[in-house]
């Protein structure tokens, strides 16, 4: 289990440290609505570079939450056209385009464009100039983006996770009320996918009304703010 350990999240209001382990999603159930709101709002603020008491630790070093974690507050609104995602996508593709064979293709594209511009400019009595295209120019012109239409919600969710891992090197994904929209079968497939991708999961819920699944580790903060911790089954 130790080799699958990703990081630890601690907070002064949560007695038991939240160990993020690949393949063992953490379910944090906060039963008192006011406490649920305060803790989720605080976590959201920190992930947007605000203040808060959540601390992410890896190998005894404190890490930046916003650089290593991603939170989905509204599971009905996964935004693939988020500016940060698109920027990360273009940066990744631009880096890949500098490989020798792809660079050759880009040069060929610019050669064809130069010939096109010459023929086009010859048709008008003006002195015109142009810049060669770089990869990001081509991506923007073609409106390259992540696909947004999927056969089902789970497929969309898995593609979002892949994007977070590959484009932003996210290690911890946090979802609010995800268990309300996925069946046990879908959750199992999600957990297996995240284990393969070596990304940790923290699911924040209100009151739990379903039995926990194998490998889920549940921490319950009750209405009277007592803490109940269930180990992996």
Are 33 and 102 in a shared domain? Answer: no
Are 91 and 200 in a shared domain? Answer: no
pLDDT value at residue 210: 85
pLDDT in tens, 135-150: 999 999 999 999 988 9
pLDDT at 1 over 50: no
pLDDT in tens, 54-68: 999 999 999 999 999
pLDDT value at residue 84: 87
Over residues 13-36, the mean pLDDT reads 95
Strands (E), the chain: 5-11, 14-21, 26-30, 55-58, 61-63, 69-72, 172-176, 200-205, 217-221, 227-230
Domain membership flag for residue 149: no
pLDDT in tens, 153-212: 999 999 999 999 999 999 999 999 999 999 999 999 999 999 999 999 999 999 888 889
User: Which residues lie below 8 Å from residue 146, measured CB to CB, with a gap of 6+?
Assistant: 80, 81, 85, 89, 159, 163
Note every long-range contact of 183-189, with CB atoms under 8 Å and residues 24 or more positions apart, other chains counting: 184/210, 184/213, 186/153, 186/154, 187/213, 188/213, 189/154
Q: Return the DSSP state at 74.
A: -
**Segments forming the whole domain that contains residue 125:** 85-141
pLDDT in tens, 59-94: 999 999 999 999 999 999 998 888 889 999 999 999
Domain membership flag for residue 150: no
Domain count, the chain: 2
Check which CATH number belongs to the domain holding 12 and give it. 3.40.50.11940
Domain membership flag for residue 92: yes
Domain end among 122, 141, 160: 141
Are 200 and 215 in a shared domain? Answer: yes
Are 72 and 182 in a shared domain? Answer: yes
Domain membership flag for residue 151: no
Are 68 and 179 in a shared domain? Answer: yes
């Amino acid at each position: 289990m130790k080799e699958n350990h990703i990081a630890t999240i601690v907070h002064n209001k949560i007695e038991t440290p939240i160990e993020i382990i690949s393949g063992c999603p953490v379910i944090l159930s906060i039963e008192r609505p006011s406490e649920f709101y305060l803790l989720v709002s605080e976590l959201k603020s920190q992930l947007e570079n605000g203040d808060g008491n959540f601390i992410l630790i890896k190998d005894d070093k404190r890490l930046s939450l916003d650089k290593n974690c991603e939170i989905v507050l509204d599971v009905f609104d996964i935004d693939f056209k988020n500016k940060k995602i698109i920027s990360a996508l273009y940066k990744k593709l631009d880096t890949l385009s500098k490989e020798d064979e792809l660079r050759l293709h880009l040069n060929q594209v610019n050669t064809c464009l130069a010939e096109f511009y010459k023929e086009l400019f010859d048709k008008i009595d003006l002195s015109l100039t142009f810049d060669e295209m770089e990869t990001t120019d081509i991506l923007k012109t073609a409106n390259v983006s992540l696909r947004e239409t999927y056969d089902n919600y789970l497929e969309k969710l898995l593609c979002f996770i892949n994007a977070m891992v590959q484009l932003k090197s996210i290690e911890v994904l946090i979802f609010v009320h995800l268990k309300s929209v996925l069946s046990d079968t879908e959750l199992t497939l999600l957990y297996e996918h995240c284990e393969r991708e070596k990304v940790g999961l923290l699911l924040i819920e209100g009151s739990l009304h379903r039995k926990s699944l194998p490998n889920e580790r549940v921490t319950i903060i009750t209405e009277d703010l007592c803490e109940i911790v269930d180990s992996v089954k």
